[in-house]
Amino acid sequence: MSIQIYNTLTRKKEPFIPMEEGKVKMYVCGPTVYNYIHIGNARPVIVFDTVRRYLEYRGYDVTYVSNFTDVDDKIIRTANELGEEVGELTSRFIHAYFEDVGALGCEKADIHPRVTEHITDIIAFIQVLVDKGFAYESHGDVYYRTRKFDGYGKLSHQSIDELKVGARIEESAIKENALDFALWKAAKEGEIAWDSPWGLGRPGWHIECSVMAREHLGDTIDIHAGGQDLTFPHHENEIAQSEAMTGKEFARYWMHNGYINIDNEKMSKSLGNFILVNDIRQQIDPQVLRFFMLSVHYRHPVNFSQDLVESSKNALERIRTAYNNLKYRLETSADLGDQQDIWMHKVNELIGDFETAMDDDFNTANAMAAIFELVKLANVYLLEENTQVNILSYFIETFDRLMGVLGLPFQSEGELLDEEVEALIEERLTARRERNFARADEIREKLKEQGILLEDTAQGTRWKRG
RNA sequence: GGCGGCAUAGCCAAGCGGUAAGGCACGGGUCUGCAACACCCUUACCACCGGUUCGAUUCCGGUUGCCGCCUCCA
């Protein structure tokens, strides 16, 4: 069974068959860098990072491109307000972006192109559209002639006429049609600008993705992804631009993630109800945040609240505990060499469940259910008096692989305790042996205040940070 | 007005024709010197009304409620 992907273009799940066997070309729309990203911005980054990881797990060679919009109205406005150069502002927030999504366990794209590095390509692209009659110059701007492109509306499944009815855009004297959109914007006094055949100006928003996707991945790409709200107009416009330019299909699979809501309302910069990743990751383990986001199917909305994050924290803790218990048990287990057995067979079944879930349009919620079944299985195995190294190792290896796909690797607990703490643990052991439980509890309480939790197991006393 | 989504236990969330996965929380039990971890047990008339079907949470029609896109937006 191949991977099934829900394609916005066809509104159906389709078997995923890349153009070139074993290779995937993937483009994900990135942020406009004039502020720290909020957790809503982080969702597509996490979701599609996970998609990428799973494709790689499945053996695909993925080329992943994600852009930065580093020039646009909001950037210019913010730079003016802060009295900062556009370039300074954007590099500051690009840096912050990498820190934020890095903390959330997202790998860097293979290529992170920036608009300002592609101005020449953008101008050349627009020129072709003008030459082909798909674009026209007006008052120093250049607009896309939406009427001319037959497929306009095919992604958002709207006809031009329907769109016009709903459009809150004023009919403009500058544009031929209200739905025409800017490819190139004439510069206003003092704005950052580049020279072009149409005078000083800068690119419109939509053109950059068409150009950069083509530049780095070619005329046709396998997967184009982004937030649901980009479907229209952004992605619709990209299709119009790219397909008019090349005469070829632009993207074969369109994937869109749902929003993050706060109190059942969309979180957005314009509504002002956003939570910055930069703030929240100081308070909440970023892995918990990632776990939380992946606990819901990517196309569904997810409501954010402290309570839900708290329950995610406990859930993740259960997985980590099982993993650590397996590792701990390694030291006191028999090494009988490699041998197959019933436990490993059950683990394999759960790996199969995990893959079935992920194959089904990256159903991370179900994939996690498989992981929890694995947790249960591991815990039951740990109930056995005599555990074996090769079975424990297989559990551990499986946890590492599957959690790796979700971008939730286990952090090593390699840190050492200071001597004082070690001494206290020793003292407590002695106290317990002498059945001086008052002293033992006192020590445990004391260490707890320092964030060190002690657990007495059949294999000895162990500690963990809590 | 056009297009679309959602409504499943206290909470979160899968499932989408054969009487409901998983997680969190709660309660009961086992284990433990006590804990912690863990294990076992318990917990659902699948928004409402019709229809199709031997059979519907799952398909169709309608109702209600919530949300989104059609404007910058992940």
Which residues from 423-442 of A have any strand B atom under 7 Å from their CB?
Answer: 432, 437, 440-441
- Give burial (CB, 10 Å; 0-12/13-18/19+) of A171: exposed
pLDDT tens per residue across span A43-81:
999 999 999 999 999 999 999 999 999 999 999 999 999
Which residues of A spanning 239-278 put their CB closer than 7 angstroms to strand B?
257-261, 264-270
- Point out the nucleotide closest to A268 (alpha carbon to C1′): B73
CB A202 within 8 A of CB A184: yes
Separation between Cα atoms, residue A390 and residue A340, nearest integer Å: 9
Instruction: Note the pLDDT of residue A1.
Output: 66
Sign of the dihedral through C-alpha A426, A430, A436, A437: positive
**pLDDT, tens digit, 9 for 90 and up, residues A319-352:** 999 999 999 999 899 898 877 789 999 999 999 9
pLDDT value at A411 more than 90: no
A400-CA/B24-C1' distance, Å: 23
Kindly report the bases of strand B lying within 7 A of a protein C-beta atom.
Answer: 1-6, 11-15, 21-25, 32-40, 66-74
Question: In this model, does residue A406 exceed pLDDT 60?
Answer: yes
Nucleotide nearest to A314 (CA to C1'): B24
Distance CA A321, CA A401 (A): 17
Q: What was the pLDDT predicted at A329?
A: 94
A299 has pLDDT over 60: yes
The confidence score (pLDDT) of residue A4 equals: 95
pLDDT value, residue A420: 86
CA A60 / C1′ B53 distance in Å: 43
pLDDT greater than 90 at residue A273: no
Which residues from the 391-430 window of protein chain A have CB within 7 angstroms of nucleic acid chain B?
none
- Of the ranges A56-70, A223-237, A261-275, which one carries the lowest mean pLDDT score? A261-275
- The predicted pLDDT at position A89 comes to 97
Q: What is the pLDDT of residues A432-452, one digit of tens each?
A: 999 999 999 999 999 988 888
How crowded is residue A337: how many other Cβ atoms within 10 Å of its Cβ?
A: 8
A463 touches strand B (CB under 7 A): no
Under the banding of pLDDT at 50, 70 and 90, the label for residue A414 is: low
Between the CA of A251 and the C1' of B70, what is the distance in angstroms? 22
Look at residue A152 and tell me whether its pLDDT is greater than 60.
Answer: yes
Asked if the model's pLDDT at residue A166 lies above 70, the reply is no
Element (H, E) at A254: strand A251-257
**Predicted local confidence at residue A430, as pLDDT:** 94
**Burial classification of residue A372, based on how many CB atoms lie within 10 Å of its CB (0-12 exposed, 13-18 middle, 19 or more buried):** middle
Q: Whose CA is closest to A290, among A109, A102, A105? A: A105
Q: What does the block give as tokens for A301?
A: 């909305």
Query: Which residue's structure tokens are 């954007």?
Result: A90
Task: Using the predicted structure, report yes or no on whether residue A24 has a pLDDT greater than 90.
Answer: yes
At A180-219, the pLDDT tens digits run 999 999 999 889 999 999 999 999 999 999 999 999 999 9
> What's the CA A344/C1' B31 distance, rounded, in angstroms?
26
Gap from A366 CA to B65 C1', in Å? 28
Within A 287-326, residues with CB less than 7 Å from strand B: 295-297, 300-303, 307-308, 310-311, 314-315, 318, 321-322, 325
Residue A17 has pLDDT above 70, yes or no: yes
Q: In this model, does residue A173 exceed pLDDT 80?
A: no
- pTM of structure: 0.96
What is residue A167's predicted lDDT score, i.e. its pLDDT? Answer: 55
Query: What distance in Å separates the CA atoms of residue A318 and residue A60, rounded to the nearest whole number?
Result: 31
Per the prediction, chain A carries an average pLDDT of 93
Query: Which residues 142-201 on A are within 7 A of strand B at the CB atom?
Result: 156-158, 162-163, 165-169, 181
Looking at the predicted structure, is the pLDDT value of residue A465 above 70?
yes
The pLDDT score that the predictor gives to residue A165 is 66
- For position A458, what pLDDT does the model report? 87
Q: Which nucleotide C1' is nearest A259 CA?
A: B74
Q: At A419, is the pLDDT very low, low, confident or very high (cuts 50, 70, 90)?
A: confident
Q: At what angle do helices A39-57 and A286-294 cross, to 10 degrees?
A: 70
Whole-number pLDDT of residue A459: 87
A448 touches strand B (CB under 7 A): no
pLDDT at A352: 97
A47 touches strand B (CB under 7 A): no
The C1' atom of B13 and the CA atom of A68 lie apart, in whole Å, by 34
